[in-house]
Structures are given as structure tokens and as C-alpha cells.
Amino acid sequence: MKRIAFYVVMCTLLACGLAGFASAQTTGGTLRGTIADSQGLPITGATISITNQQTNVVINLSSTAAGLYNYPDLPVGAYTLTVEKSGFQKEIRSGIQVFANQVTEVNINLAVGAVTSTIEVTGATPLVQTGTSQISNDFTSMQVTQLPNPDPSGSQLQLALLAPGATSQQAGVLGEGGSIGGTRPRMNSFTIDGVDDNRIDLTGHTQYVIPESVSEFNLLTNQFAAEYGHSAGGQFNTITKSGTNDWHGSAWEYNNNRNYNAYDNLEKQNVDANGKVLPKPRYDFNRTG
């Protein structure tokens, strides 16, 4: 009996030890940049605050001797960047969008002046990804729920067809997600919040995520990091919503009915003996939540 207990304890310790070496894929993004004066000289020791606009969680940093700051794993969402330094005006940048698996660079040039003076910039523009060769295609929660989707369930995975280099797969082709960059569909990989979501028997996702709970859908098509070593095809990454500090919710209904749709060319040719067009095949789909 003691021997059995010993083996149980040893197996538990071994499992815990191996778990420490295992790591899931990255689900956040990187925010970095330089802090300099009006002449482009780096500012050392500037106080930097990164605030999540949904949860008000604040992360504090300081610029390095080279005027650099970097935070490598921010949760997906909108952020406000506040920079302060004695002898310079405080600057606030709001609406900075951080995407999964992307590097967002925001460089700040502080103007000389009193600390009580504040320069506030709102409405961030899309930023060119110059810090990585990785090609990433991001779809926000609004795009996931509002863009036309051929899948009756509204699966976000179908949005991959809107990405450059992605093509639909023909009938009989094994796998899921289409061909990404010329690879076979069975070479694609699927994750939810960084956790493996691949079927064991054949490549494809296992867990369905309702569109309303998706915070971001991210598709990596090439030059992705070694952490995505499961497959050589497209990396289908779904990030779920983490909530905010306010109570909120929504009610929705999706309905597809044959009476809403016009006759296509094949249906127009489907006539009876008298030449009258037959009714359209029944296809009714309704989904509420």
C-alpha cells in the first residue's frame, strides 16, 4: 500500500514538473516604442502607464537608457498610453488597438513644458507592422458577427477565406480551413485562447465558439514563431472575450429562410410538365441566443 502511494506521489510531482515546461501559444500582442524629446533624443526614466480601456487595469513601466519601452504579452483590446517626465508635458494616447500575435509600435515625442500641461491624442490610425515578418490577419469581434458568413452557424473560421493567400477547398479534400499559402487543408492548426483545439483523427477544430463570445479571430499564414510548431499550414487562433467592468449582454437571432432568397439560375430551370417553376427546395435555419 505504501509502495502504491509512493508511485502516486512521484507521478503527480513528475506531471507538475512537466507542466512547467509546457506553454501554450501566445494570445496577446506586444506594445513597444521609443520615448524621445522634440529633437529625437531618447528620454531615460520616463513614467509610462498602459491602461486597458475595458477593465481599467494599469501596467506601469519606465523607459530605458535608450528611451525604449516594451511589454510583450498584452491581452487583446484597446489601450491608453500615458507618458510623463519631469520638465516635459504629459502626453496621452488613447484608442491604441493591440492585436494577437502582432507588434504595435507607438513612438512618443514629448514637448518641453510644465508637467501640468497635457497633450492628448485620440483616434489611433492603423499602424504598419515593421517589427516582424510574420503575416497576420485579424478580425475583430464586430467583424466576426457582422461580416457575411457562408456558415449557418456563423463560425469565425470561415473568415479565413477573406485573407490573402487563402482558398476554399474542394469536396473530398481532407482537413478543414481551406488551403493557406498553397498548403493542404489537413496541415492547418486550430487553437482557442492559446490551447490546442485540433482533432486527433484528422486536422480540424473540435470545440465550437459562438461568434458573440469571440474577441478576435487571428490567422497566421507564414513566418510564424516556433511556438506554432504543430502544423505547417495556417494557424487559426480564436481569442474569447474576457469581460469588462460593466454588466452587459445581448440578445440575437439568425434566420435563413428559403422565402427570403431569390431563385438562382438552377432553380429557375426546375420546372414541371406545364413549364411552371417549382417551389424552391426547403432550407430553413434559425438560431437564437
Encode pLDDT of 270-281 as tens digits: 888 888 888 888
Give the residue carrying C-alpha cell 497635457: 118
CB atoms inside a 10 Å sphere around CB 46: 22
pLDDT of residue 168: 84
pLDDT of residue 59: 93
Strands (E), the chain: 29-37, 47-52, 58-62, 68-74, 77-84, 90-98, 103-105, 108-110, 118-121, 135-140, 166-167, 179-180, 189-192, 195-196, 214-222, 235-240, 253-256, 285-288
The mean of the pLDDT values for the chain is: 81
Task: Identify the band that residue 64 occupies on the pLDDT scale cut at 50, 70 and 90.
Answer: very high
Q: Which of 76-85, 149-158, 186-195, 267-276 has the lowest mean pLDDT?
A: 149-158
pLDDT of residue 286: 82
**Residue 38: strand, helix, or coil:** coil
pLDDT of residue 172: 67
The two beta strands, 90-98 and 77-84, are antiparallel
CB 76 within 8 A of CB 29: yes
**pLDDT(170) > 80:** no
Say which residues have a Cβ less than 8 Å from residue 106's Cβ, sequence separation at least 6.
31, 32, 33, 81, 93, 96, 127
pLDDT of residue 19: 42
Q: CA 83, 89, 94 angle in degrees (round to 5)? A: 45
pLDDT of residue 150: 76
Q: Rounded mean pLDDT of 176-199?
A: 88
Helix (H) / strand (E) containing 21: helix 2-21
Encode pLDDT of 210-243 as tens digits: 888 898 898 988 777 777 777 888 889 999 988 7
Encode pLDDT of 118-128 as tens digits: 666 665 545 55
Encode pLDDT of 7-53 as tens digits: 444 555 454 444 444 445 667 888 999 999 988 899 999 999 999 98
CB atoms inside a 10 Å sphere around CB 195: 12
pLDDT of residue 15: 47
Task: Identify the band that residue 173 occupies on the pLDDT scale cut at 50, 70 and 90.
Answer: confident
pLDDT of residue 20: 41
pLDDT of residue 95: 87
pLDDT of residue 123: 57
Q: Rounded mean pLDDT of 47-76?
A: 91
Q: Rounded mean pLDDT of 244-259?
A: 80
